[in-house]
Amino acid sequence: MVLFSIMATAELTRPAAPSEDPKQPVVVFENVSISFDRNEVLRDISFKVMPGESRIVLGPAGCGKSVLLKLANGLLRPDSGRIFVFGNEIDVMPEEELFKLRDRIGMVFQEGALFDSMTVRDNVAYRLIEEHASAEDINRRVLEVLRFVELEHTIDKYPSELSGGMRRRVAIARAIVSKPDLLLYDSPTGGLDPITSTTIIELVVKQRDVSHTSSLLVTHRLQDAFTMATHYFDQQQNKMVPLPDGQLDPQTSFLMLHDRKLVFDGTTEELVHSTDPFIKDYLE
């Protein structure tokens, strides 16, 4: 296993997105539990996401990582506990208010989940159309995000004409089109080969370092997680590069779920040095 040196400097700390109060958590889970048909999936989960932070959610298959993301955008409601997003308690929020709140949240679903019958343009524009943005604004913004994910040339194609990696890029473009303050990524590299996965993580890191958007990212690939923790996006070189001197990104940290509970909440350094037998086993 690779061990990393502690980030000694504060200058790599990213600022909060301009619309955010840097001291107010973007997401707070307080003692959240949820069951389906008496099958308890999450028990007493508490954690925070601060502005500009990327929190990577790890854990074995079926441990509730997707459920946690769905709780964070109000698609599921907890049985007990409280969830705050942008300071609003969402577990008691009426559906129409949740709808408005979700305008500030971008979600990249498992497998991308694009609309197959729509072109790339319409997939990406979907949310802006729902928000009744003007045709001119929609065009401009769709082109802007497709350029960001380097897929401008696919604008008139259908998802079936794209590779798996391209479809994920479109899914990311669709999630960021309305400039969200929180991004929820559900296994953005799931089912992709390692090389394509790295290009998707490079895009996630680019989004993180260019827009400073807070995020929760579920992944099955430890490699993705450690790439995010050890790299940054260099805008001059227009590529992702390792942080100097083996440093770690101070705003990328980890949550680990196991057997319904949150068994880890901490930094990369703390994770790799954990003496917990389950975590050691998981990392190996």
Ligand X SMILES: Nc1ncnc2c1ncn2[C@@H]1O[C@H](COP(=O)(O)OP(=O)(O)OP(=O)(O)O)[C@@H](O)[C@H]1O
Q: Which residues bind ligand X (CB under 6 A)?
A: 36, 41, 59, 61-67, 220
Q: Which is nearer to ligand X, 69 or 142 (CB)?
A: 69
Report whether 256 contacts 267 (CB < 8 A). no
Q: Which is nearer to ligand X, 61 or 195 (CB)?
A: 61
Q: How far is the CB of 33 from ligand X (least distance, A)?
A: 13
Q: Which is nearer to ligand X, 232 or 264 (CB)?
A: 264
Q: Which is nearer to ligand X, 66 or 197 (CB)?
A: 66
Q: How far is the CB of 64 from ligand X (least distance, A)?
A: 4
Residues in the chain: 284
Q: Which is nearer to ligand X, 41 or 120 (CB)?
A: 41
Q: Which is nearer to ligand X, 154 or 189 (CB)?
A: 189
A 10 A CB-CB count for 233 gives 18
Q: How far is the CB of 41 from ligand X (least distance, A)?
A: 4
Residue 172: both structure tokens together: 């990311």
Instruction: Report the run of H or E that residue 254 belongs to, with start and end.
Output: strand 252-258
Q: How far is the CB of 96 from ligand X (least distance, A)?
A: 22
Kind of pairing, strands 39-49 and 27-36?
A: antiparallel
Q: How far is the CB of 246 from ligand X (least distance, A)?
A: 30
DSSP-based helix, strand, coil % in the chain, nearest 5:
40, 25, 40
Kind of pairing, strands 54-58 and 252-258?
A: parallel
* CA dist., res. 17 & res. 152, Å (int): 26
Environment class of 125 (CB within 10 Å of its CB; exposed 0-12, middle 13-18, buried 19+): buried
* CA dist., res. 83 & res. 263, Å (int): 19
Q: How far is the CB of 220 from ligand X (least distance, A)?
A: 6
- The DSSP 8-state label assigned to residue 178 in this structure reads T
Residue 38: both structure tokens together: 């008496």
